[in-house]
Structure 1
Amino acid sequence: MDVLSEVWARILPQAPDVQDGPWWACAALAAALLAVTVPMVWTRVRPAVTIVHELGHAIVGMLLGRRFTGFVVSADMSGHAVTVGPRRGFGRVASTWAGYPAPAVIGALLVQLAFSGFAGLVLLVGVLVLLGSLLFARSLHTLTAVVLAAALAGAVWWWGGPIGAAGLVLGGGVLLLLGAWRHLGAVMSGGRRHDDPQQLAELTGAPAWLWNGSFLLVIAACTGWGALVLMDAPLL
């Protein structure tokens, strides 16, 4: 019963006290900015963005009736997810399109939730999703990346308290938002034949630049959402 009580205590809404000041939020924002701008750090945290990208493909595909069979996060930090279903049609196009916007959408949502008091619940849900995705990991590198992400989220959820949970959710959200821009910049500047925009062009006949433009609009909208939340945040 004591364990159940401890778990429940970490699920109940519990926001950082305003009297604690803004230091934790400022630290989370600084850490996210550092992670995205320093190459040595970026190469180590980029798998988190790739995992969300690939799970974006998978979740949208499953919502539209496709079967998710596995995903890979490669050593070069690229990745791919496999959903089984009709080779063409709306489901295939939507699941292929969903990858690049996914980190921005999830990132903006995390920024919103960081100040809501539900950061602990968010981390628990994140751990459960990551553990569930282990069933679909198709390489040792993928397995390692997912386990490390789940372990970090789980450790902060259990031991970090309200400030630790809110800080990780906020930092993770900003990391995903900024990482979405970095991923988009990479595909726009040096896209390969099997990248998502090229696949979408082959599936629909619409040019790849049009699909890149749609990614840009969604990521920009999510960035604006996150910025508005931060400007209205009670601790900043």
Structure 2
Amino acid sequence: MLELWTRITTAQPVPSVAVVGLLGAVALGLVLFAWPLVRMLVTIVHEAGHAVVAALCGRRLSGIRLHSDTSGLTVSRGRPTGPGMVATLLAGYLAPGVVGLGAALALAGGYAVALLWAWAVLLAVMLLFIRNFYGLLVMLVVLAGVAAASCYLEPVHQSWLGFLLTWLLLLSAPRPTVELARRPSAGSDAGQLARITKVPAQVWTLVFLLGTLACLVGGLAVLTPRVFDLF
């Protein structure tokens, strides 16, 4: 356990700027050409955002569902209105960008191993609240993959994986908000916020988009301060 703790808390060398840029290009390709797969990752983080903020606001988490169409649902009990419910609804679309930005800061400090273990712990806790078979299957596969990478990959490869996943979150976070703007729904997070706050759903969708874009810009500033030196 002491050896494991030492590995988690020890900073690893950050990959070269060329490797970081290449991993970003791979992530962009996945976002563009393997969107259904990437969207499931985004949905997991989206629902985790709802769940974490609901718990922080004193709401009682009832369960999480992940569906084969890459949608998800998080149910919590508490007041149907008020700041806690607003914060819970706000958290979903913003979560991938915020997590991506936080991960970028951790990676810039060389803490790729710690990042992977943090994700493994979060996924394990989230697994306890999954309430459908498909969601359980997806979470087991993702958790097994992250846990295996945390235990068996060499630190340099763990760092590469951390950068790839972080790029995926940052680059993909704005896309669901664009999809929401194109196909608004009364049952969406923005629609529910509109009913609670009387602020139009389009405004909330814009908040989601600006928030995820801000995280993307911040993540780019952290991950690629020297990428353009290559050119």
TM-score between both structures, scaled by the size of structure 2: 0.92
- Measured in 2, the distance between the counterparts of 1:181 and 1:197 equals 15
Report the secondary structure of 1:173's partner residue. Answer: helix
Please state how far the C-alpha of 1:143 moved relative to its aligned partner: 1.0
**RMSD value over aligned CA atoms?**
1.9
Aligned-partner Cα distance in 2 for 1:177–1:17: 18
Match of 2:37 in 1: 44
2:177 pairs with 1:184:
yes
Whether 1:124 aligns to 2:121 is no
1:7 equivalent to 2:4? Answer: yes
State the distance in 2 between where 1:136 and 1:161 align.
31
**Aligned partners of 2:17 and 2:226 also within 8 Å:** no
Q: CA deviation at 1:5?
A: 4.8
Aligned residue runs from structure 1 range 104-183, under 5 A:
104-183=97-176
8 Å Cα contact 2:190-2:204 kept in structure 1:
yes
In 1, distance between residues paired with 2:191 and 2:14? 48
Contact between 2:20 and 2:223, CA under 8 Å: does it hold in 1? no
Aligned partner of 1:13: which letter?
A: T
Partner of 1:16: 13
Q: Contact 2:9–2:111 (CA<8 Å) still a contact in 1?
A: yes
Letter of the 1:73 partner, please give it.
L
The verdict on how the C-alpha distance between 1:138 and 1:101 changes in structure 2, with shifts beyond 3 A counting, is same
Aligned-pair CA distance for 1:79? 0.7
Where 2:199 maps in the other structure, the secondary structure is coil
Partner residue of 1:25 out of 20, 28, 39 = 20
Partner of 1:214: 207
Q: CA 1:140 to 1:60, structure 2 compared with 1: closer, same or farther past 3 Å?
A: same
Between the aligned partners of 1:12 and 1:62, the Cα distance in structure 2 is 27
Contact 1:114 1:167 in 2 (8 A): no
* Equivalent position SS for 2:64: strand
Task: For residue 17 of structure 1, report the CA deviation from its aligned partner.
Answer: 6.2
What is the CA distance between 1:140 and its match in structure 2? 1.3
Count of equivalent residues: 229
The 2-side partners of 1:124 and 1:97 are apart by: 26
SS of 1:232's partner is coil
Cα separation, 2, equivalents of 1:129 and 1:233: 32
With structure 1 as the length reference, what TM-score do the two structures score? 0.90
2:147 & 2:22 partners in 1: Cα distance?
A: 20
Q: Distance in 1 between matches of 2:21 and 2:39?
A: 21
Extract unaligned runs of 5+ from structure 2. Answer: none
Structure 1 consecutive aligned stretches of length 4 or more whose deviation exceeds 6 Å: none
Q: Deviations over 1:11-67 (max 9, x none)?
A: 13232366xx445423421221121000xx221232111011011111111111101
Looking at structure 2, the residues matched to 88 and 112 of structure 1 have their Cα atoms a distance apart, in angstroms, of 34
TM-superposed CA distance for 1:6, in Å, is 4.5
User: Is the Cα–Cα contact under 8 Å of residues 184 and 215 in structure 1 kept in the other structure?
Assistant: yes
In 2, Cα distance between equivalents of 1:110 and 1:233: 18
